[in-house]
Homo-oligomer: A and B are copies of this chain.
């Protein structure tokens, strides 16, 4: 018997193996974060499997991953539900996000090249256009993309994926808030301040601005809880 080792002849860069469970994961995650599936809603694995034309296995795998990410709640032998919003978990996620992104932005401010900054500014341009058009969805996507760009610019392999995962709770909340209050103009101004600080190679200022930017969400959250208490847990 020949043992196979994880030897050099493997393609070193992980080929994006798009297995079915990955596809299911992506679809469900998107559906949850975009609030197509509401917090507290039941997920029927068998039904999902049927709808997507796969068996229960890849659906279960995807849902396990989502549970790990805190986007679904699995009650053994009972049921699976889209995770409700838990204020204390959101607080933690917020903390982690601030910690990671301010650290990332410090690094980015130190090492940003003109090309990187140009990419940032290009994103900001498009944000401005979206804000002018009152295109919430587009604006929101660009917002996320900007945070990803900043992460990437820190030059750390896999950091974006980690940050994105830890941010998923927050992203979902923000998406919900989008329908109640927008703050597009203010947000855009904050983004511009962050990028300016990076361009000025001023890590402290960049980090502080980012922190203030992220902190904005708190009060809106309480507002949402008053309007839609059914989305929240505890």
Contacts and interface: CB of A to CB of B under 8 A. Distances in A.
Interface of A: 3-6, 10, 12, 17, 19, 40, 42, 61, 64-65, 68, 73, 75-76, 78-79, 81, 84, 86, 88-89, 91-92, 95-96, 98-100, 102-104, 107, 154, 156-159, 162, 166, 233-234
Nearest to A79: B4
Contacts of A98: 103
Contact of A157 (B3, B10, B75, B88): B88
Contacts of A88: 156-158
Contacts of A103: 95, 98-99
The SS class assigned to the A binding surface is mixed
Nearest to A44: B3
Nearest to A18: B76
A98 B159 CA distance: 13
Contact of A65 (B64, B91, B96, B99): B64
